[in-house]
Amino acid sequence: MKTKELFKEKTVFSYEVFPPKKTSGPQSIYKTLEELKSLSPDCISVTYGAGGGDNNDESFKIAQTIKGYGIESIAHLPCIGMTKADLEEKLEELQALQVENILALRGDLPADDYAPGDFSYASDMVRFIKDKGDFNVVAACYPEGHIDCKDKVQDIKHLKTKVDAGVDQLITQLFLDNNDFYAFRERCELADINVPIEAGIMPVVNKRQIERMTSLCGVKLPDKFVKMMDRYQDKPVAMRDAGIAYAVNQIVDLISQGVDGIHLYTMNNPYIAKKIHEAVHNLL
């Protein structure tokens, strides 16, 4: 099933998982999936490391396993460094696995020299995918603007180009202030971007995790979030519970304001997904 169809029926609730590093043993993800399955998400997406992570070969297999559970899956696919022939091969692989939803991404630009490949931006890849097969194409978007593009208006124009290339739905990067999401949604409306937008929510359960995200993606930390972290950062259980409560508050507000869907960055942690599921599943 193409996941864009889900939005016609309800507020969509999806999860994101990543293939574990080879050193942690590939089996750990299948145990995680078993637990996530029992929470009946509408769909689960699986990340894929740009430029060749050590665990990418698991990514499509995980997407296939999710489909086997009767839950829709979305395979992430970054195009940085890929040739057209590489991408065509990946599309054939996905077709053979009957995975019909792809999150088409550029990927982060490597700091060192790299072979640029045939695709400069995700929009080039979206066009190529739509031309090659009957895929549902999902793309990334950034409520606070993408870190490489300092001009938010320009960033929205780039997003419009990407959506017009054939995007069926969008998923946002994490954000911690819902007002950033509402302002972004308005900019999308003004730019005539009309596909469903899922809000990406990451429960922040330790300080190192958010410091990494801030330096990688430029996510802003609201005052109330900083105060929460200052208070609980040395108490892991309290920090975890406060992070879950913060995410639940964000989700309740987003659903009340008519969000199309919530995409939960589970960090492969079924406990957190379960706690959030318990708090919000009656609201969807």
Q: Does 162 bind ligand FAD (CB under 6 A)?
A: yes
**Which neighbouring-strand residues pair with 178?**
none
User: Which pair of tokens denotes residue 50?
Assistant: 């740009």
Dihedral, CA atoms, 125, 128, 133, 138, nearest 10 degrees?
A: 30
Q: Does 62 bind ligand FAD (CB under 6 A)?
A: no
Q: Does 50 bind ligand FAD (CB under 6 A)?
A: yes
- Give CA–CA dist 12/65, Å, rounded: 21
Which of 29, 36, 71, 140 binds ligand FAD (CB under 6 A)? It is 140
Q: Are 137 and 130 in contact (CB under 8 A)?
A: yes
- Give CA–CA dist 231/42, Å, rounded: 35
Helix (H, G, I), strand (E, B) or coil at 139: strand
Q: Does 158 bind ligand FAD (CB under 6 A)?
A: yes
Which of 2, 69, 118, 121 binds ligand FAD (CB under 6 A)? It is 121
User: Which pair of tokens denotes residue 14?
Assistant: 């999806």
For ligand FAD (CB under 6 A), the number of binding residues is 24
Of 67-75, 82-90, 141-149, 186-194, the window that binds ligand FAD (rule: CB under 6 A) is: 141-149
Q: How far is the CB of 72 from ligand FAD (least distance, A)?
A: 16
Tell how far CA 268 is from the center of its chain: 13
Nearer to ligand FAD, 76 or 275 (CB): 76
Rule CB under 6 A: which residues touch ligand FAD? 47-50, 76, 78, 103, 105-108, 121-123, 140, 146, 148-149, 155, 158, 162, 171, 173, 200
